[in-house]
Amino acid sequence: MKIVGNFIDGQIVVSESRNTAPVYNPATGKIEREVTQSTEQEVRHAIEIAHKAYASWSTTTPLRRARILFTFKSLLEKHQDELASLIVSEHGKVYSDAIGELTRGLEVVEFACGIPHLSKGEYSANVGTGVDSFSLMQPLGVVAGITPFNFPAMVPMWMFPIALACGNTFVLKPPALDPSVSVRMAELLKEAGLPDGVFNVIHCDNDQANPLLTDPRIQAVSFVGSSRVAEHVYTTASAHGKRVQAFGAAKNHAIIMPDADLDATVSAVMGGAFGSAGERCMALPLVVVVGDDTADKLIAKLKPLINELRIGPGAKHSAQENEMGPLVSSTHQQKVQGYIDQGVKEGAKLVVDGRNYHVEGHAEGFYVGGTLFDNVTTDMLIYREEIFGPVLGVVRVPDYETAINTVNGHEFGNGSAIFTTNGRYARDFVSRVEAGMVGVNVPVPVPMAFHSFGGWKRSVFGALNVHGTDGVRFYTRMKTVTARWPEGQQTVSEYSMPTLG
């Protein structure tokens, strides 16, 4: 069986430990391939390789770095079918969703290609007599990325294109559940002209990954995953003097006002709740509906659509594509079904039950059908915790003020949306909602690459977000220079705070 290896110093290598972890095809429940599992010593070796490569890469001109990324962009486009098929076979999402993931990642590559402009710094002439002041944006050194299973291509591309463009070298730890696309992107980076050692991929379990948080050669860490692990990454890496951006869990809400265009809202909610089987940090698992009449109408429209979802393997076919694929693993399938059990136990009304969903010919696949709960309350586990599956809950409230207070009362603040045709409500919501990414009649308000992605509250740990201008700031440090070119020598020492003029 094929083993997915590490990519270190420009070549694929298998761990000397000879330990592997299985990589399943979620649609069939069968092992597709295996992934090598590295030792802590091998993780440190990957860091050392990146550290050695930094000296020459950091002095490579920004224009040269951008040209390599331009070539990489072309190779991503050329190989998008191959990359999407890898995502489908290991993650389980449908092919069109995999193409969408690649497209959003590629947009970050396009943004990073503008690094000659993005890293120009500032210049002020004559801040004093014969004195000029200017700033330089310089790379940090070796940086690390630890990424989740739900977007095995896009989330790494939130990180490494900008990091590389800024002159850093990179060590990526991808998830064991769907590791292949990261290694293939590493090969394409090399084909694009990236020098060996600048970008490295290391597969290991969490214990062996600890040097990514503690090794003094690592200058910054980017992480996406659960809030519990995100907080651990943040506190551990920060305690070792590293710059950290760590993104955690989400429980995104959408307020639905009585004046909303209900047909358009239903279509948006279906995509937000059940796209990618709900395995998105920007999924829409909760709708807060103002008024019982609005809630009744919404559920009446949602119920048949959820029952009619086309669920099955995500691979591209000539026939009509499925709308939702399996979950990523048997463990996660059982976890999501456990949340549905809990919702019933706590008294929520189960309108559509996705447990024990059967796909003909794929009895061993990790499927959960679309699920709809009504009368969800804020004390329920299915309200409080991130389910990360195709489960939608309806919370009924009497008015707009209760709705926005409900949204703001949750511990997570990743994304939130409102559906309304009333500009007054929309404007007030944008101003008052406690979330980092906000949609107005948009269910999944993921920013474009030239803006920055990040939430509030316990959805994020660290001050700077990914991609956009925050991404450039995160992967660079500013050096401010004050320079004097006097005509003669200064002979008098100054002991007070220097002033210019």
How far is Cα of residue 246 from the mean position of the Cα atoms in its chain? 10
What span, in angstroms and rounded, lies between the C-alpha atoms of 124 and 230?
40
Largest CA distance in the chain: 89
Beta-carbon contacts of residue 284 (< 8 Å; ≥ 6 apart): 252, 254, 269, 272, 273, 392, 417, 443, 444
Nearest Cα to 108, choosing from 162, 153, 164, 170? 162
Selecting among 113, 166, 204, 281, the annotated active-site residue is 281
What span, in angstroms and rounded, lies between the C-alpha atoms of 224 and 210?
16
437-440 and 391-397 strand pairing: unpaired
How far is Cα of residue 23 from the mean position of the Cα atoms in its chain? 21
What span, in angstroms and rounded, lies between the C-alpha atoms of 373 and 315?
29
> Strand order in 142-146's β-sheet?
11-13, 6-8, 199-201, 169-173, 142-146, 218-224, 243-247, 460-461
Strand partners, 220: 143, 243
Count of other CB atoms within 10 angstroms of residue 378? 12
Beta-carbon contacts of residue 76 (< 8 Å; ≥ 6 apart): 83, 102, 105, 106, 109, 185, 188
CA–CA distances in Å: residue 155 to residues 67, 179, 371: 22, 13, 27
Count of other CB atoms within 10 angstroms of residue 432? 11
To the query of whether residue 204 is one of the catalytic residues in this protein, the response is no
CB of 160 closer than 8 Å to CB of 131: no
Q: Which residues are catalytic?
A: 281
